Structure 1
Amino acid sequence: MTTAIADSPAFAELHALFAERIAVLDGAMGSVVQGYKLEEADFRGERFADYAHDLQGNNDLLSLTRPDIIEEIHARYFAAGADIVETNTFSGTTIAQADYKLEAIVDDLNAAAVACARRAADAAEAAAPGRRCFVAGAIGPLNRTLSMSPDVNRPDYRAVTWEQVVTAYTQQIRALVAAGVDALLIETIFDTLNSKAAIFAAQTVFEETGTRLPIMISVTITDASGRTLSGQTIAAFYNSIRHAKPFSVGINCALGAKEMRPYLEELASIAECYVTCYPNAGLPNAFGGYDESPAHMGEDLGSFATDGFVNLVGGCCGSTPDHIQAIAEAVKGLPPRPVPARRTTMQLSGLEPLVVA
């Protein structure tokens, strides 16, 4: 007998927000962390003071060792106008944390990250009675892929199995849900099969708990080819994850807003759910930095809103609270994209979409 699964209260609250106006997501975590000029000792804290492995660069770990900084960053984004902040858990799986030999702390890491974001959300709500601030559990793409071999001489080889990816994502999602996130954001997807494993893991946790959270999905178009790293067009990708009936689908990272426009326009024309967009602050420069100003980024995303492409906007790599403030001001008062009725045609996908009339 299948257990009934109820929608969480956040479903209705988020639907109300998205129906009222264009919602605003936060910006990058890493770009802002860099501004704090942290050193190895900050990443170690007391708990990992004598740890044998170097830990600097593991930004997720800061939720445990410098929670004051992570909470402050979330607070800065809420102050800039964000409705939703992402937890500092982009690499919060055993597979990703294996690079630092920290697989054993994944549950603690995710719980601490949610706590940081929730404290900031509670404080922002207290400062503006009637305001609702949301916390989305960030689920990154992993550093291993199911669709591609890391060895050009062994195209059949995979560094990870479906079962391993599902297990890692299930553990992370259990921890995020138990800690109290409002939604799950499966983001920066470059391998569709990895994202399908994350979706499967989320649905498994929903069945365990009896409560379904909104699933937000965001893919990365890697270059001017208009395809993901695993080769799919934006329409083929949407068809691949459409069965999950996501709360939203969108594009983030890799490209700046100008380069993202044609793919976002295509997605907005076919998606039967809310559409999201949070690009990088321009393309990386020769030093790996991002030069797009808040004003220019706000102008670009404002044009997406004016053209009816989006329901939520924000920033990815290189974006800061200043960028988010400019974006929030640019879309203020503009109507959100209407969500079309769900189509009944058969929609399939390989690297290209196939619609069977």
Structure 2
Amino acid sequence: MRQIAYTRGQALPAILEQRIAILDGAMGTMLQRFRLTEADYRGERFKDHPKDLRNNGDLLSLTKPEVVRDIHEAYLAAGVDIIETNTFGATRIAQDDYGLGELALEMNRESARLARAAADKFSTTDKPRFVAGALGPTPRTASISPDVNDPGARNVDFEQLRQSYYEQVQGLTEGGADLLLVETIFDTLNAKAALFAIDEYFEHSGERLPVIISGTVTDASGRILSGQTVTAFWYSVRHARPLAVGLNCALGAALMRPYIQELARVAPDTFISCYPNAGLPNPMSETGFDETPEVTARLLREFAAEGLVNIVGGCCGTTPDHIAAIREAVQPLAARGLKREYFYKEAA
């Protein structure tokens, strides 16, 4: 066995052993507050682009970087340890829908640079801030047919996903990310392509960053969209030896509890992350969800008190107010301990 030499994010394992780390909240929810127009998304550079670009939030790292920077800084001011890059949909596969696939590398690099500058601005010796390069699931799934009349049909394959993710990892790493976060996984085969691309890039570049893997349970069945239980999902990705594994997105904290409990039980030697959305849809609320900052914070405090988590934050519908409340709620509590000392090793 040989020790993996991480080139960035080296301080994270020790921090996670000592206390619960705080991840930021939703980017999309915050972007909605700016009420940006089609012209804002286009900027001068894309004013003549033939396709609509509104709601392509990843593009704003190029056309409205000050907006993305302000959101990062709002979360950092709320006390987070880790901010995610604005790259959830910044793969070539996803950007091809907007006719911007060729910009994927630039988009990821610039998004990481924005986050890096914000994190460095708020970092101190006692509280370093980290940048997580966000890799979303893409709008296509390698395991499920897009045609109900043809179960064997696919609109993407493993190799296309691998190439797209490799490009994304390159941009995020070159832009200054400290770790990589493969998140909102609804298809484990997509995630495997991302993990393959990550390892491939590490081998080619000589750099090795910590990796967090986060799946999403889509409904009360307790399964991800491609059909796996939480336990099966973990056994499918554990070969990647992630720094942490967790769940995010589709459910609010109230409904996520049994699945985090299951994950904590089957992955005793790995740190656990949890960043739920802000509850059930509620058109009457400001964020469109029903869990207030106080409710989300109380629920995640219960997770922490039960010894389930090492990293907590927020997903869809959450804001800096949610994150500040979560930080205040879990700060006095100890992080989930590992059942045995965890070394980051790989076979020689």
Kindly provide the amino acid, as one letter, of the partner of residue 82 in structure 1. V
Aligned to 1:94: 92
**Deviations for 1:18-64, whole angstroms, at most 9, x for unmatched residues?**
11200000000000000011111110111111211111000000000
Paired position in structure 2 for 1:24: 22
Once the two structures are superposed, residues 306-346 of structure 1 have per-residue CA deviations (whole angstroms, 9 ceiling, x without a partner) of 00000000000000000000000000121000112389xxx
Alignment counterpart, residue 271 of structure 2, candidates 250, 260, 274: 274
Letter matched to residue 324 of structure 2:
Q
1:339 aligned onto 2:335 = no
1:307 maps to which residue?
306
Identity of aligned residues (%): 53
Aligned to 1:61: 59
Contact 1:4–1:210, Cα closer than 8 Å, also in 2: no
Task: Write the distance in 2 (CA, Å) between the matches of 1:95 and 1:5.
Answer: 31
> Which residue, out of 285, 303, 310, partners 2:282?
285
Partner of 1:181: 177
Matches within 5 A, 1:239-258: 239-258=235-254
Alpha-carbon separation, structure 2, partners of 1:246 and 1:5: 12
Letter in 2 for 1:47: R
In structure 2, what is the equivalent of residue 351 of structure 1?
none
* Contact 1:235–1:266 (Cα < 8 Å) also in 2: yes
Maintained 8 Å contact 1:184/1:213: yes
2:275/2:312 contact within 8 Å kept: yes
1:316 aligns with 2:315: yes
CA shift for structure 1 position 174: 1.0
**Of 321-330 and 46-55, the range deviating more from structure 2:** 46-55
- Is the partner of 2:51 in helix, strand or coil? coil
Q: Distance in 1 between matches of 2:140 and 2:45?
A: 28
Q: What amino acid is the match of 1:25? A: L
Deviations 1:48-99 (A, max 9, x none): 1121111100000000011001011000001101100000000011100011
TM-score normalized by structure 2? 0.94
Unaligned stretches of 5+ in structure 1?
344-357
Q: Distance in 2 between matches of 1:147 and 1:340?
A: 34
Matches within 5 A, 1:1-357: 6-10=5-9, 12-125=10-123, 128-271=124-267, 272-285=269-282, 289-341=288-340
CA contact (8 A) 1:141 1:188 kept: yes
Q: Distance in 2 between matches of 1:173 and 1:167?
A: 10
Three-state SS of the structure 1 residue aligned to 2:11 is helix
AA aligned to 2:89 is S
Mapped to 2, the partners of 1:205 and 1:41 lie a distance apart of: 36
Contact 2:283 2:289 in 1 (8 A): no
Contact 1:278 1:313 in 2 (8 A): yes
Paired residue type of 2:22 = V
Q: Would you say the 8 A contact 2:8–2:179 is kept in 1?
A: no
- Give the superposed CA RMSD: 1.6
Separation of aligned partners in 2, 1:131 and 1:312: 15
Structure 2 unaligned regions, length at least 5: 343-348
Q: Deviations over 1:209-246 (max 9, x none)?
A: 11211010000000000000001000000000011111
Question: Is the partner of 1:211 in helix, strand or coil?
Answer: coil
2:247 is paired with a residue of what secondary structure?
strand
- Confirm or deny: 8 A CA contact 2:136 2:182 kept in the other structure: yes
Q: Which residue of 2 aligns with 1:355?
A: none
TM-score by length of 1: 0.92
Contact 1:165 / 1:197 at 8 angstroms: preserved in 2? Answer: yes
Amino acid at match of 1:302: R
1:136-190: CA deviation from partner (whole Å, max 9, x where unpaired): 0000001110110000111011111111111101111111111110000000000
- How many pairs are equivalent? 338
Where does structure 1 differ by over 3 angstroms across 4 or more consecutive aligned residues? none
CA deviation after TM superposition for structure 1 residue 119, in Å: 1.3
Distance in 2 of aligned mates of 1:130 and 1:257: 30
Question: What amino acid does structure 1 have at the position aligned with 2:191?
Answer: S
The alpha-carbon deviation at position 269 of structure 1 amounts to: 1.1
Q: Show the counterpart of 2:345.
A: none
1:285 positional shift: 2.7
Deviation of the 1:123 alpha carbon? 1.2
